[in-house]
């Protein structure tokens, strides 16, 4: 039994007890997004208003940053596989700290802001797969949704508080804000240096002695579903700031984010067991329906619509993001860190496509004076694109898979998807 395997008498599917390293890791999962979201949610406004970039250019910058932040996770997972989880997290925090320090330098030479943004995204790409793998190391399958949900809850709590703290200062006093965030990341990195190293759980491989590629063993259907979910969700993530600030205020935009993050904090841990047991097809249908309904509601443009739309979108992503990760872990033969990295790659591809296409479409809507149509178009895609996943599911189901394996993995494994011993 590994370090955090379920002790005798512990109920299945529960989170507690937690050891010291896990408590620190969950605290860090709050502090890291707290610092990040004191800056990053305002990037579209910062680049557009302070640096004078057009919305099309802003969309491209955000697309590249999103691609690096998410897709780079596949490199982070492979790095964790090679040098270990703790050392990967330390390198990631060093890179991200340098990025936030770069925002300070950008106050004197504004073009550096783009490089600093990309650097912080590189740090996030390296960190998250190792963080998630450390969190679920040695945890049996019934308890994994609870541990992943706890990490997501801490993450979203930081994301909720960050904009509230920073909203009044990000444009008026950015220098002090960037200095505080840089100091916060230095402190968190020092704490990670004291974490014990753990070995990565590895699953049986049919790849022989050759080192597997970054996408070897990818779970096809969860990968594709994650890419599509992030593509649609990031219409909301990238462009809500510009849309909401124009119709309400920066403070109200922070309230919308607070509502969304609070829903994740409260609902996802409570629903994690139900989401684990839910048939995958039902989870996809429910998640994309809620996402589409929320995007359509945003088109009304009122404060009530902003709150209601954000809530519906969040309920959709609660189901989609957790279920896709659980399905990927269940169907892939690779280590946890690699699986999470592959899912981050899918997220990055979707977020990048959203930034590039969405920036152009939002710019067109702004010039035409009908930005509400942008949200209606995004909602229509929630109805039209997910059925393509059914075609992929049928194709995967027809492929001959040995050992009675389920559909979705490119590389077969000789268990039912569970890590031996979990």
Collapsing DSSP states into helix, strand and coil, what is residue 409? strand
Confidence (pLDDT) at 412: 34
Average confidence (pLDDT) over 89-94: 94
* Highest mean pLDDT: which range of 73-82, 116-125, 306-315: 306-315
pLDDT at 352 > cutoff 70: yes
C-alpha 82/C-alpha 75 separation (Å) is 11
Confidence of residue 210 (pLDDT cuts 50, 70, 90): low
pLDDT at 27 > cutoff 60: yes
Confidence (pLDDT) at 402: 40
Q: pLDDT tens digit string along 97-146?
A: 999 898 888 778 877 888 888 899 999 889 988 888 888 877 777 777 87
Average confidence (pLDDT) over 253-267: 85
C-alpha 310/C-alpha 313 separation (Å) is 5
Question: How would DSSP label each residue in 337-371?
Answer: HHHHHHHHHHHHHHHHHHHHHHHHHHHHHHHHT-T
* Among 20-29, 298-307, 315-324, the least confident range: 20-29
First to last CA, the chain: 8
Looking at per-residue pLDDT, the higher value among 264 and 397 belongs to 264
Q: pLDDT tens digit string along 48-67?
A: 776 677 767 777 787 788 77
pLDDT at 206 > cutoff 50: no
355 neighbors 224 (Cβ within 8 angstroms): no
Confidence of residue 3 (pLDDT cuts 50, 70, 90): very low
CA angle 149, 328, 203 (to 5 degrees): 105
* Among 60-69, 175-184, 203-212, 326-335, the least confident range: 203-212
Confidence (pLDDT) at 15: 56
- Residue 150 makes CB contacts below 8 A (sequence gap 6+) with 15, 26, 135, 269
The pTM of this model reads: 0.71
Burial of 368 (0-12, 13-18, 19+ CB in 10 A): exposed
Q: What are phi and psi of 214, to 5 degrees?
A: -65, -30
pLDDT at 293 > cutoff 90: yes
Question: How would DSSP label each residue in 138-154?
Answer: T--TTTHHHHHHHHHHH
Q: What are phi and psi of 404, to 5 degrees?
A: 70, 30
Looking at per-residue pLDDT, the higher value among 109 and 307 belongs to 307
Confidence (pLDDT) at 315: 95
Average confidence (pLDDT) over 90-95: 94
pLDDT at 255 > cutoff 70: yes
283 neighbors 320 (Cβ within 8 angstroms): yes
pLDDT at 167 > cutoff 80: no
C-alpha 230/C-alpha 344 separation (Å) is 10
330 neighbors 145 (Cβ within 8 angstroms): no
Q: What is the dihedral sign for C-alpha 151, 157, 158, 159?
A: positive
Collapsing DSSP states into helix, strand and coil, what is residue 14? coil
Confidence of residue 320 (pLDDT cuts 50, 70, 90): very high
Task: For 321-350, give one letter per residue: b (16+ CB within 10 A) or e.
Answer: bbbbbbbbbbbbbbbbbbbbbbbbbbbbbb
328 closest CA partner among 206, 214, 220, 202: 220
Collapsing DSSP states into helix, strand and coil, what is residue 175? helix
* Among 74-78, 111-115, 142-146, 207-211, the least confident range: 207-211
Q: Which residue has the tokens 């389920």?
A: 406
Looking at per-residue pLDDT, the higher value among 65 and 227 belongs to 227
Confidence (pLDDT) at 7: 40
Confidence (pLDDT) at 185: 94
What are 171's two structure tokens? 């444009």
Confidence (pLDDT) at 14: 59
pLDDT at 164 > cutoff 90: no
Mean pLDDT score of the chain? 79
21-196+215-398 — its CATH code? 1.20.1250.20
């Amino acid at each position: 039994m590994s370090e955090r395997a379920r002790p005798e008498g512990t109920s299945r599917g529960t989170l507690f007890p937690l050891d010291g390293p896990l408590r620190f890791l969950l605290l860090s999962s709050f502090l890291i997004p707290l610092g990040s979201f004191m800056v990053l949610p305002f990037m579209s406004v910062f680049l557009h208003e302070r640096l004078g970039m057009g919305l099309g250019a802003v969309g491209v910058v955000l697309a590249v940053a999103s691609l690096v932040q998410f897709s780079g996770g596949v490199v982070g997972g492979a790095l964790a596989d090679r040098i270990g989880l703790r050392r990967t997290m330390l390198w990631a925090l060093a890179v991200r700290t340098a990025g936030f320090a770069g925002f300070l330098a950008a106050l004197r030479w504004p073009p550096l802001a783009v490089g600093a943004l990309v650097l912080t995204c590189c740090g996030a790409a390296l960190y998250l797969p190792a963080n998630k793998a450390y969190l679920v190391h040695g945890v049996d399958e019934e308890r994994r949704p609870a541990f992943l949900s706890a990490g997501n809850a801490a993450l979203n709590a930081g994301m909720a508080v960050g904009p509230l703290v920073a909203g009044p200062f990000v444009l008026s006093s950015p220098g002090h804000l960037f200095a505080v965030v840089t100091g916060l990341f230095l402190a968190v990195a020092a704490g990670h240096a004291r974490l014990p190293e753990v070995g990565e759980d590895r699953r049986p491989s049919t790849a022989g002695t050759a080192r597997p590629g970054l996408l070897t063993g990818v779970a096809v259907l969860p990968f594709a579903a994650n890419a599509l979910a992030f593509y649609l969700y990031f219409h909301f993530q990238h462009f809500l700031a510009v849309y909401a600030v124009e119709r309400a205020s920066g403070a109200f935009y922070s309230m919308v984010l607070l509502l969304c993050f609070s829903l994740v904090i409260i609902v996802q841990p409570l629903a994690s067991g139900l989401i684990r047991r839910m048939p995958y097809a039902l989870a996809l249908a429910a998640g994309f329906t809620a996402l589409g309904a929320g995007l359509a509601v945003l088109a009304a443009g009122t404060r009530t619509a902003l709150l209601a739309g954000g809530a519906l979108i969040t309920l959709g992503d609660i189901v989609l993001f957790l279920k896709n990760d659980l399905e990927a872990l269940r169907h892939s033969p690779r280590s946890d860190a690699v699986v999470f990295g592959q899912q981050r790659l899918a997220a990055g591809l979707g977020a990048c496509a959203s930034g590039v296409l969405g920036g152009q479409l939002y710019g067109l809507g702004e010039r035409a004076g009908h930005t509400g149509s942008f949200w209606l178009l995004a909602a229509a895609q929630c109805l039209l694109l997910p059925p393509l996943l059914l075609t992929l599911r049928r194709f995967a189901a027809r492929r001959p898979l040995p050992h009675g394996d389920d559909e979705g993995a490119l590389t077969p494994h000789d268990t039912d998807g569970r890590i031996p011993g979990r």
